[in-house]
Amino acid sequence: MRAAVFLDRDGVVNRSPVRNGVPHPPAALQELEILPDVPEALTALREHGYLLVVVTNQPDVARGNAREQDVQDIHARLRSTLKLDAVFTCFHGDADNCDCRKPKPGLLLQAAREFDIDLAASFIVGDRWKDIEAGQRAACKTFFIDYGYREPQPSACDYRVGSLLEAARIILRTQSSKFVP
């Protein structure tokens, strides 16, 4: 089994425009901006044997506010630019009550099955309470990037950090190298 670092997309890997205190996804590939230090963080994690898996809710597709092709174009760019192992996406809205929409752990469980991931040895890095709760439900250690959004915060998390790079440094400092291939 392998360990993974699960990554929320918007606000963790790429810039998430904030309007009225609420983060939003980029609407198209032209708006995609990878956050500073993300390539450095992901390279370090990859070099230490971690799988890098994005798990993202993209409900604007179900709501008719975004095209699935635009979301897929963004994911293709992220996979190629950042050498991600996989991107798992929920296109549903809350009303769909699916198992894949965070805060439910469906995306993480699916990735664990497909990639033989040890969830208890894995981490999730997110900037919203739903990311943290999904990680907790999957028994992962959780990192909350706190941007001070005007929305509910997670009730608890393992670490509160300012960036993915800070999370990566903590992961690499505190974990054994038993998963290094």
Residue type, 150: R
Q: Would you call 159 exposed, middle or buried from its count of C-beta atoms within 10 A (0-12, 13-18, 19+)? A: middle
What distance separates the 2 farthest-apart alpha carbons in the chain? 45
Q: Report the DSSP beta bridge partners of residue 144.
A: 126, 160
Q: How far is CA 177 from CA 11, 116, 140, in A?
A: 28, 17, 17
Active site residues: 8, 10
